[in-house]
Amino acid sequence: MIERALVADDENLSREFLKDALESLGIEAVAVPDGEAALRMTGEKDFDHVVTDMRMPKLDGTGLLKKLRAKGCDTPVVIVTAFGTVESAVEAMREGADDFLHKPFSVDQIEVLLETLEKRR
């Protein structure tokens, strides 16, 4: 069961939408504005999922994913982006992302995605 998720997105509206969407599903959500802050948070708290934007300043979503996997973190990571291509989705999956979601998306899409990830565990 998903209890806590970390959201990393540099766009305020997108970050707040994701946080609110997760909370509407009964998930405690912690939201940060970039990958560096997300990396720090994973050292401070345990998360059941990480949802990160692909394009962010300081440390982008793919960079965050690489650093999480390099330190042995096996928390499921979902990459979200408005600029997704097949190539970027394939790259994210090769780096260890558990799924990829194109913006804009709905709360229902997030719920289905998280249910699918939970079934894989």
Q: Which whole-number Å values give the CA distances from 113 to 57, 72, 119, in the listed order?
A: 26, 23, 10
pLDDT tens-place string over residues 61-74? 999 999 999 999 99
pLDDT tens-place string over residues 16-74? 999 999 999 999 999 999 999 999 999 999 999 999 999 999 999 999 999 999 999 99
CA distance 73 to 108: 27
CA distance 69 to 85: 23
Which of 54, 35, 34, 39 lies closest to 101 in space, CA to CA? 54
Positive or negative torsion for Cα 48, 21, 109, 14:
negative
pTM of this structure: 0.92
